[in-house]
Structure 1
Amino acid sequence: MNGDAPTRPGEICRELLAALDASEGRRRRRKRDTTPDAIGLTIKRDLLERAIAADPAPDQFEAWLHGQCLAAGGAEGGVRAMALSIFEEWRLAQEADSFRDWLSRGAPSDDALREQPAPDGDRTSTRPSNTTR
């Protein structure tokens, strides 16, 4: 850690939520069935939104995530996997300045969803923001 107090989980989770757009963009372009990916991203998005709302103290974040897993009951497996991912990303943001900087810039990625009209004018299509026509 860089010696500063840990960043609040709610702040990092807000930035991680923005980064999910890139994952969703990649998922939609895959040619295979991406239903499992969509389920995982939905679980992760839900956990991130709840973490933003609750904004537990940094020293309570792991316990808060554990509580979310227990509350999931029979669906604990997927929730546990996504909770671990979120906790690891939160810890990485505490330790790796470059990762934290990337998140604070809005997690820029060529894969992020941008609602841009497709060449045929259909606004339901998405393309990476730096793609030329």
Structure 2
Amino acid sequence: MAMSTVLSEHAPLSPADFCRLLLRTLEASDGRRRRRKRNTTPDAIGLGMKRSLLERAVEEAPTVEAFEGWLLAATMAEEGGARAMARDIHDEWQMAQQAPAFRAWLERGAPSDDAGGEGGS
């Protein structure tokens, strides 16, 4: 729809909207993880941490100005893995703000051959 293209080019992306979009990418990551032949328990733990942070951000809807501090506060009492996921989310959010192609991909639903796939190669 042309409206989403116009929004991508002109409207700032809120952290909650971004996190909602980024949650879709976890499906592809999980699809890849399930097809790996090695023990993927650490990957599943990391994806769970990231999903939890993204869901909290959607619920709590921090402002653009507060997002970095919100991520820091959300992980202060957590292990290092959660802080690493917070840094990952922040880096991806910055990329979505600065790279129209990345944001457009997210807005299209983050299409990936890996999404949902137990049946991949």
Same fold (TM over 0.5): yes
Contact 2:30 2:47 in 1 (8 A): yes
1:24 has 2:30 as partner: yes
Runs of at least 5 residues in structure 2 that lack an aligned partner in the other structure:
1-7
2:119 to 119, 123, 127: 127
Letter matched to residue 66 of structure 1? L
Letter matched to residue 86 of structure 2? A
Alignment correspondent of 2:50: 44
Question: Which of 1 and 2 has higher RCO (CA within 8 Å, sep 6+)?
Answer: 2
Alignment correspondent of 2:96: 93
Number of equivalent positions:
114
Task: Give me the whole-angstrom Cα distance separating, in 2, the residues matched to 1:49 and 1:37.
Answer: 18
Runs of at least 5 residues in structure 1 that lack an aligned partner in the other structure:
115-125
2:19 to 13, 19, 29: 13
Tell me the CA shift for residue 3 of structure 1: 8.5
1:70 to 71, 76, 81: 76
2:106 to 97, 103, 107: 103
Task: Give me the whole-angstrom Cα distance separating, in 1, the residues matched to 2:12 and 2:64.
Answer: 6
Alignment correspondent of 1:82: 85
Pick the structure with greater CA Rg.
1
Tell me the alpha carbon deviations over residues 58-116 of structure 1, each in whole angstroms, 9 at most, x when there is no partner: 010000000011132xx2x01100000000001100000000000000000000015xx
Post-superposition, which runs of at least 4 consecutive aligned residues in structure 1 deviate over 6 A?
Answer: none
TM-score in terms of structure 1 length: 0.80
Report the aligned-residue RMSD: 1.8
